[in-house]
Chain A
């Protein structure tokens, strides 16, 4: 898994590529999010469009990142969920927890 970081309208966008699974260093998302919070960047958008696979460990990483950010008064939202990830979040009732968007401009506007 690799993560590219960019900023738009005061929101940090993490473009995540590859697998978020137990064997693929899923903890990297949590680490990146913590580094951003330490730098005072509390509005975070995870772009999942290029994520090829997520297992329960990966779902746990997303939840852990979400709670870390919200506990510090920030917002963590999801962009471009794949159909499979959407199904996983639905059966775990996490679609009700995460704000998710299909359009980047709409997602960025939601942080305002």
Chain B
């Protein structure tokens, strides 16, 4: 998989930045050829992944950095979110669709990421911290008319 364009952002753990980052994501996914719906859902996945990294990864410690990388490849958009936290055990993320969790206020962020992207992987980084790697295929379906 060769990446034709790559963009990487580094920022402090501040949820106040999430709107700005989502708008940036919208611009990148538009440049990658996604239609308005595609931009919206990718932007929401980015918002949720970054929020998760800030709140649960870096525990809102502003001295800790979050990195957000976009790679526009021939057949897909690849987005990586890195934090400096201890990482999460995927198997322990509660299922928000389980009837006992349905009326809980939280716990839907990663579910949204998985719902809107074609693939999502978590990886512990050898140097510490965690990486969330998500991809959206640049299929014909995702590349309609620009609004």
Contacts and interface: CB of A to CB of B under 8 A. Distances in A.
Interface of A: 19, 21-24, 55-57, 59-61, 63-64, 66-67, 84, 88, 91-94, 97
Nearest to A56: B108
8 contacts: A19-B19, A22-B18, A55-B48, A56-B48, A56-B108, A60-B106, A63-B103, A97-B102
Interface in B108-126: 108-109, 111-112, 115
B25 interface: no
Give the dominant DSSP class at B's interface.
helix
| Interface range on chain B (Cβ under 8 Å from partner) | 20 to 34
Contacts of B115: 91
Nearest to A65: B105
Give the dominant DSSP class at A's interface.
helix
Contact of A22 (B15, B97, B111): B15
B82 interface: no
Contact of B108 (A67, A84, A92): A92
B18 A23 contact: yes
Interface of B: 15-16, 18-19, 40, 44, 47-48, 51, 96-97, 102-106, 108-109, 111-112, 115
A94 B108 CA distance: 12
A56 B93 CA distance: 15
B23 to A, nearest CB: 11
B69 to A, nearest CB: 21
A22 B108 contact: no
A23 B15 CA distance: 6
B141 to A, nearest CB: 16
Given A66-B103, A94-B102, A97-B103, A23 B19 contact: yes
